[in-house]
Structure 1
Amino acid sequence: MNVFKLNGIKVYNLTANRALPEWASRSERKKKFSQDSGLSKHLELIQELEMPDSATYITCSPDSQYLFTLGRYKPRVRCYELENLSLKFDRCVDCLPYRMKILSDDYSKFALLEEERWVDVHATGGHFFKFRIPKPGVDISYSPFTCDLFVASSRSSVYRMNLCEGRFNTPLVSSKLEGTAHGFTACAYCREHSLLLGASTLGRVDGWDTRTGECVFGMNVSEFAPVSEDAYDTSVGVKKRIAGVTCVKYKNPLNIALGTSDGMVYIYDLRQNRKPWHTRDTEFRKPVKTVEFHEDKLIALLPHCLKIWYIDTGKVFVGFDTGRAECNWMHHFQNSGLLMIAMESPKISTFFVPLLGEAPAWCSHLDQLVLE
């Protein structure tokens, strides 16, 4: 268990980088452990928490009992039962999955967004059915009240598949994206007011009332939000380029966080959508992969680093390098200090920050290990 201290904050790296191969015999394992002291101190939080080649996505079920990872090669989805700290099932699929939406409280029902425009729906026993959308998808959301599965495409439409009736509903279309080369990059749905937000490469965020299908919200991030110094030409007084919005996350029904392609993070109040009430420059001119809220802090994942800062003051809590491999997605276990990152490497990177929060209930032994 490696530990490093940054800004007075201890970060424990729990990534199992040096796990022995499955085919190693008991005698070979014993010999290897005696030769390498690092392996004897090795901590494997969840057994077989890895992919054959690389991981594209990671998330947890709503009941916080099951962990899902997507990856290659072959394209597959793996589910881990956190109570037993072990693999529950491993399913191979036809095309590479890169986003998923869990449709039930546990592991039984989920939908996979895959390459080649496929959406694959699974049930407890395995694959249930799959359908194709007209344009490549970039993100996926779900409304449990209407059983509508929303698939944001790489163009101007958000497709709606009603899983109860098994048919497409009228797609949600952004008038600002029609006739342009721009498209959606992410979407987010809020249960409280049934507002679906779609972020785009044009630097806009559009919102639809999913009960009526009407566009009721529009926000131009690239025009009114503060930008980084590199994106502004001081000699001419204009912006050099349009920064696309790469991710969107609800903090609560009224506040959202946005990440852009040039490394900026904004927090908006939906009632005042012209300028953000919080702005933070990550100081990396790389796209923000995803953002998460934790109490009074905001967590942002970039291709090669992770940053955490206080929302009220903007002061950095901690920031650290995640390694050579590029990060694809992050999952933060709610109300805890445990973070897992899906990367372009076989292992799922795991970090524990005790000052961020306690360990989750399924790995509460981490707190005692840290004290020792």
Structure 2
Amino acid sequence: MKVTNQGDVSVYTIAGANTARPLPDWLARRRKRSLKSDPEYQNRIELLQDFEFEEASQCVRVSDDNDWVMSTGTYKPQFHVHYLPHLALSFARHTKSLNTTFLLLSSDYTKSLHLQSDRKLEFHTPAGCHYELRLPRYGRDLIYDRHATEALVPSVGLDSDGHGEVFRMNLEIGRFMKSFQIDVGADDGVETGLQGSIGVGGVNTAAIAENSHNLLAFGTSIGSVEFWDSRSKSRVAILGGQEGEITALDFSPTGLSLATGTSNGLIKLFDLRSPKPLLQKDHGPGFPIKNLIHMTTSSQEKKILSADKQMIKIWDELDGETWTSVEPLVDINFVTWCKNSGMILTANEGKPMHSFFIPQLGSAPRWCSFLDNMVEEMAEEVSTDQYDNFKFLTLPELKSLSLSHLIGKTNLLRPYMHGYFVASKLYEQARLIANPYAMDEERAKRIKEKVEKERASRIRGNKKVKVNQKLVDKLLKRQEKRARVDTKAGVLGDDRFNRLFEDEEFKIDENSREFQVLNPSTRVDPDTGATVASQGVQSSDESEDDASNTDESDDEVAPKSGAQKEMVMHVRTSNQGNSRPSKDTTLGSRAQKSGRISKARGDVVGERQVTFVPESRRKKSEEAPRPQAKDRRTDSRRSASGNVFRRM
């Protein structure tokens, strides 16, 4: 998915020639393994099934109920109907000739009127072509007056009275009515025919204020706009003095203003109560304006969309400042807007039809509401390159790359606006020469950004208080184990416990009996006041020292007692006589003594020594106490009666 930025407005290309390489299904299946790692192919979006034509598309419109899209194209001449809730092609139908433009007469696709390039009008229903009729001259545009049920077809050429004509086909009666006669100038050509000479005038376009006063406007080839009342069938006013031919017209939703587009790319905004334009804007490239659409953004801002064959611009209705623009890779034939949304569809010369989504213009239509969440995730990085083989650089950037001496001397630098287009190969070579370590710097920068991102995602809990700071740290440490730190949760955020962390009278006394009972695994050092492990928690060094102290005390007590038990056994390891534990010294660094090993306890290395004093059995029996005589009355014996509970 491609994204372009014009200021603060992002435009996402959902479908079209600028999104991803079109690959057939059979090729995609064969290259499935290699395409798995291709980001361009993986990020593709097929918004609508078969939203394309074999060669080019001519016109596209969305139904009033926003459930159907009808588009026409070639070759062969045909039109497609898509059902939007299913995002699928409903059906395709071929026609005898190329479709110039069409209208949806109903709120869905069931009734449509098509203007053909061979001077025909065709009425289509779901069953097929319902009826067709032939026009006297070639039509240029097509609009529908719902109040009078008349199809109006502006045409080229002059009638018998020397006026241009707008044919009126009454769909209720089923016949032509008297045409509107429009002043399009005289035919000064020599050779005339059915249409007149090559330079004959005509009525190029038409517009109707359908939602307001229902006034009709017709733009001519001589630069004038005529307004007609559909009720009295008479001319109301003429707006003249325009430069070039009028090629596009559009009424505002209120019907009080009219936007006109000319063949030389000028756009003017008129108030119907004044012949002077409120605003004049140059579209830029100088091509004829094809479409004008009044739009309202999600923030209720008034915008106007204008399109020629090269680009689409959306600009402010009040001051004419360009809001955003879109420039596809192929020529544009028609533009339509999905009302009350940010979706724009175009018919163009390329094979796929284009779809653009502007989130700031409005949310996605309900049939593709998933785009609101997808566009930011799947959008590629914004690129400043205008072309694949050229890169735009300003003059300071050229000087930093030592390329300023090439200005005006080679075709590799092409001036454009406030900078130059530089060939991509030359730019890469110059950048590598100017900074050979650019790759390493970029890699280090990305690693740093990744580390900072991971560091910011870590959970940290820190809160400073006046009293009982250890208690606060202990509570926050418990929260970190649960992967959820909140300094205002539980006791820390309860107002009833504020004095526990502010008032000195509530300071926890770790020397008290109550604290030691509740925390038996900790003890307080009386000299330093620090809390250290005790009783249940001891280090390995402390346990070894305690064991050695116990052994030494046993050695001292044994000879003084005089009375020996049956067996006095002492177990001693080889490292207890040393000043340092064995874990602090390596096996090779221990003292090795030559000669015979002494039997003394301190000289034993690498073994254990056991000593005991045996005693005779006679002495044991003499010193043992004699058993006392048993009393038969109290002696427990088995009862003959079997009553177990008698003596209980």
TM-score after normalising by structure 2: 0.52
Task: Identify the match of residue 344 of structure 1 among 349, 356, 364.
Answer: 349
| C-alpha distance 212-179 of structure 1, shift in aligned 2 (>3 A) | farther
Structure 2 counterparts to residues 244-323 of structure 1, below 5 A = 244-252=245-253, 253-272=255-274, 274-295=275-296, 296-323=302-329
Which residue in 2 is equivalent to 1:233? none
In 1, the alpha carbon distance for the partners of 2:141 and 2:113 equals: 11
In 1, the alpha carbon distance for the partners of 2:372 and 2:37 equals: 29
In 1, the alpha carbon distance for the partners of 2:84 and 2:331 equals: 26
In 2, the alpha carbon distance for the partners of 1:170 and 1:28 equals: 63
In 1, the alpha carbon distance for the partners of 2:202 and 2:185 equals: 6
Q: Is the radius of gyration larger for structure 1 or structure 2?
A: 2
Task: Identify the match of residue 209 of structure 2 among 169, 186, 190.
Answer: 190
Please give the secondary structure, in 2, of the residue aligned with 1:356: coil
Question: How far apart are 1:133 and its partner, in Å?
Answer: 0.8
Question: How far apart are 1:265 and its partner, in Å?
Answer: 0.9
In 2, the alpha carbon distance for the partners of 1:213 and 1:360 equals: 39
1:334 lines up with 2:336 in the alignment: no
Contact 1:16-1:42 at 8 Å conserved across structures: no
Structure 2 counterparts to residues 2-41 of structure 1, below 5 A = 2-17=2-17, 18-21=21-24, 24=26, 27-28=29-30, 30-31=32-33, 33-34=35-36, 36-41=38-43
In structure 1, list runs of 5 or more residues that go unmatched.
Answer: 223-241
Which residue in 2 is equivalent to 1:146? 148
The CA deviation string for residues 58-115 of structure 1, in whole angstroms up to 9 with x for no partner, is 1111112111111101111111111111111111111100211111111100100110
In 2, the alpha carbon distance for the partners of 1:128 and 1:29 equals: 46
1:99 lines up with 2:101 in the alignment: yes
Question: How far apart are 1:319 and its partner, in Å?
Answer: 2.0
Contact 1:2-1:12 at 8 Å conserved across structures: yes
Question: How far apart are 1:38 and its partner, in Å?
Answer: 1.4
In 1, the alpha carbon distance for the partners of 2:116 and 2:66 equals: 24
| C-alpha distance 126-178 of structure 1, shift in aligned 2 (>3 A) | farther
In 2, the alpha carbon distance for the partners of 1:176 and 1:30 equals: 60
In 1, the alpha carbon distance for the partners of 2:87 and 2:34 equals: 24
In 2, the alpha carbon distance for the partners of 1:10 and 1:75 equals: 35
Please give the secondary structure, in 1, of the residue aligned with 2:334: strand
Structure with greater helix percent: 2
Contact 1:99-1:140 at 8 Å conserved across structures: yes
- The aligned amino acid for 2:368 is C
Please give the secondary structure, in 1, of the residue aligned with 2:140: strand
- The aligned amino acid for 2:331 is E
In 2, the alpha carbon distance for the partners of 1:357 and 1:200 equals: 34
Using CA pairs under 8 Å that are at least 6 residues apart, name the structure with larger relative contact order, 1 or 2: 1
- The aligned amino acid for 2:326 is F
Q: Percent identity?
A: 29
1:157 lines up with 2:165 in the alignment: yes
The CA deviation string for residues 166-197 of structure 1, in whole angstroms up to 9 with x for no partner, is 11100111135465621111111223333221
Please give the secondary structure, in 1, of the residue aligned with 2:167: strand
Which residue in 1 is equivalent to 2:229? 209
Q: Which moved more, 1:142-151 or 1:132-141?
A: 142-151
Please give the secondary structure, in 2, of the residue aligned with 1:83: helix
Structure 2 counterparts to residues 47-126 of structure 1, below 5 A = 47-126=49-128
Contact 1:71-1:98 at 8 Å conserved across structures: no
In 1, the alpha carbon distance for the partners of 2:93 and 2:231 equals: 34
Aligned length: 350
Structure with greater strand percent: 1
In 2, the alpha carbon distance for the partners of 1:125 and 1:270 equals: 43
Which residue in 2 is equivalent to 1:171? 179
Question: How far apart are 1:271 and its partner, in Å?
Answer: 2.1
- The aligned amino acid for 2:167 is Y
Contact 1:96-1:115 at 8 Å conserved across structures: yes
In 2, the alpha carbon distance for the partners of 1:175 and 1:43 equals: 49
Question: How far apart are 1:310 and its partner, in Å?
Answer: 1.1
In 2, the alpha carbon distance for the partners of 1:352 and 1:299 equals: 14
User: Structure 1 stretches (4+) deviating beyond 4 angstroms?
Assistant: none
- The aligned amino acid for 2:235 is C
Q: Cα RMSD over matched residues? A: 1.7
- The aligned amino acid for 2:208 is Y
In 2, the alpha carbon distance for the partners of 1:212 and 1:29 equals: 66
In 1, the alpha carbon distance for the partners of 2:322 and 2:139 equals: 34
